[in-house]
A and B are shown apart, each in its own frame.
Chain A
Amino acid sequence: MGGIYALTAIGLNLQYGLMRILNIGHGELVMLGAYITYSLYSRLGLDPMISLLISGPTIFLIGLSIHRILFRPLIQVSVSLEVLEVNSLLISFGLLFIIQNLALIIWGADMIGYTYLAYPIKFLGGVFPANRFIAFSVAILFSLGFYLFLRFSLAGKVVRAVMQDKIGSQFIGVKIFKVHSICFGLGVAMAGITGSLLSMIFEISPFMGLSYTVEGMIVIILGGLGNILGSLIGGLIIGVVESIGSYLTSPDLKMVISYSIFIAILLIRPKGILGR
């Protein structure tokens, strides 16, 4: 689960760190990704790994339009960051309602799923179900790849420049709205990929989104806002803590554990474990 959380959180973090948009609807795009993969698999028999190549770009485009229609006008008119943060929160609630209920109309409210690679494999002395192993590896691969991209490429440098100083980067010729919309698209595309990966392991339902948004938030708060490496590490930590925690107490308490961690971090270290 750690890798999955990390990937969701990086997507969410990209949106918040860069644009101060706290997108509550992020998990809905996880759900959408899962349903795209599910539909392609059950209707056309398309291998879920290949459908990543479809769900990712599709959701990237959806993300671009969401940003263009909903958030970009908001950034232009908001007088202060605080106003923008609260307004974007409300907008993304609207987004959540819309996407979730569209999914309910299209796919119905039932839990659905398919089986994919559900046999055990051995790796480094441990035994894992193959689908979990693959999902985890792909998630880590994407997370790490994205981190390295931000860290070392020129485009990554531009993104980090905008994160640090919006006005300054405008002065040196960065088109921030272009950076914003591409990053928003990339952020939600990661949510979509997460969803596709999840659908290989779990049953999916239109209501699954919110819990991943919450997990994502816990992770970005743990790892620090705007800190991509922090999200990667935070995701892994939360994954481990949750599985140990629910193993020691009871699986029903999983959500209680994550919310408690969340509230505790917010209160003790609002800057995150890697924060200064």
Chain B
Amino acid sequence: MLMVFIWTFISVALILLPLYGSVYTISFILSILMYIALTQSWNIFSGYTKYISIGTAAFFGIGGYTTAILGSKLPLPIVIMIATLVNFVLALPMGFITLRLRGPYFAILTFGLGELVGHIFLWWEMKITGTRGRMIMPVEQTTVYYSLLAIAATVFFTAYIVKVSRFGLALQSIGQDEEKAETLGVNTTFFKVTAFALTAALMGAVGAAITPRWTYLDPYIAFNPLLSFQPVIMAMIGGVGNLYGPMLGAAFIGILSEVLLIRFPYYYMIMLGMILIIVVHFIPGGLTGLIGKKTRPSPVQLPTPS
């Protein structure tokens, strides 16, 4: 009952925010929502299957460029839908190829993919269009806000559906023991690739929605490797493989980064590195892992070192 109350309160507060919030507050909440949506979508695939993907930037960037190219011709919601579709379609073959590898190979490969896509865009901008970056058609902040809010809600809803469905169960079984899952008749390739593409589509939507916030976009912004690391770190800190962990982690680090990143970028990054190391060493279940032990065990936890 309490949870329902809290959720209703948060939802109403977020929906009505543009009515009472200042431009700065909205922009602040916008960033937090972006982190939450990215981390939650990362969690749908990587959190359950334990295939650590460090390629968020690839899909985020493709989404961003969709807005950069089509933003002046079409209204934002349609652009976002196109970006979602494009990313889903692109991620299917990418996932099919990369998901044959496991563990650190897969992680490095996804990172390589992100960089590769970024460099291709960079080369394309310099050689073919002869530009370096492009201006973005400004969109009203309220529109951006509601688009992103809708995406964040969709991501959360998707994550919920995945968690309670057979689909999510299949992903969890892959994360626990892929060979066994396959022996028991789970079509692992199908589930992995679909979940990977689903994640990619959601990340692309976030990229497309947030881009009008910047007036200018170039491959260094759109494919910033930091975008690939942050969801991993945030999810790790919050707790992987459940619904609230990624949200908690993303909100925590998101707020920290909004407050510190602009003012003390270097110290912020050093701190982020330290937090990452500490979490891996001492709290492998993340923040929700700490709380979860007291209330109820979450169905999937990181492999806790004994």
Contact = CB atoms under 8 A, between A and B. Distances in A.
B276 A93 contact: yes
A104 interface: yes
A116 interface: no
B276 A78 contact: no
A107 B113 CA distance: 31
Contacts of B100: 267
A214 B50 CA distance: 23
A22 B105 CA distance: 10
A250 B273 contact: no
Nearest 10 pairs of A and B residues by beta carbon: A97-B273, A77-B305, A94-B276, A94-B273, A98-B273, A94-B277, A101-B266, A259-B116, A101-B269, A22-B104
A269 to B, nearest CB: 12
A9 interface: no
Interface of A is mostly: helix
Given A91-B280, A101-B266, A83 B126 contact: no
Contact of A97 (B126, B269, B303): B269
9 contacts: A86-B50, A86-B107, A89-B104, A90-B280, A91-B276, A101-B270, A255-B115, A256-B119, A266-B105
A181 B109 CA distance: 28
Interface string B103-121: 1110111001101100110
A98 B277 CA distance: 10
| Interface size grouping (class) on chain B | 35 or more
B97 interface: yes
Contacts of B105: 266, 270
B270 A98 contact: yes
Interface string A225-264: 0000000000000000000000000101101100110110
A214 B272 contact: no
Interface of A: 22, 70, 73-74, 77-80, 82-83, 85-87, 89-91, 93-98, 100-102, 104-105, 210, 214, 217, 250, 252-253, 255-256, 259-260, 262-263, 266-267, 270
A80 B303 contact: yes
Interface in B248-306: 265-267, 269-270, 272-277, 280-281, 284, 303, 305-306
Contacts of A91: 276-277, 280-281
B166 interface: no
Given A77-B305, A93-B276, A259 B104 contact: no
B269 A78 contact: no
A93 B273 contact: yes
Contacts of B236: 90
A98 B272 CA distance: 8
B232 interface: yes
Given A91-B280, A97-B276, A98-B273, A79 B115 contact: no
Interface in B178-200: none
Nearest to B278: A94
B101 interface: yes
B280 A98 contact: no
A79 B303 contact: yes
Nearest to B118: A255
A257 B267 CA distance: 34
B73 interface: no
A73 B284 CA distance: 14
A260 B116 CA distance: 8
B123 interface: yes
Given A74-B281, A97-B270, A97-B272, A83 B116 contact: no
A270 B273 contact: no
Given A93-B229, A97-B269, A73 B127 contact: no
Given A78-B305, A93-B229, A217 B273 contact: no
B122 interface: yes
B57 interface: no
A260 B266 CA distance: 31
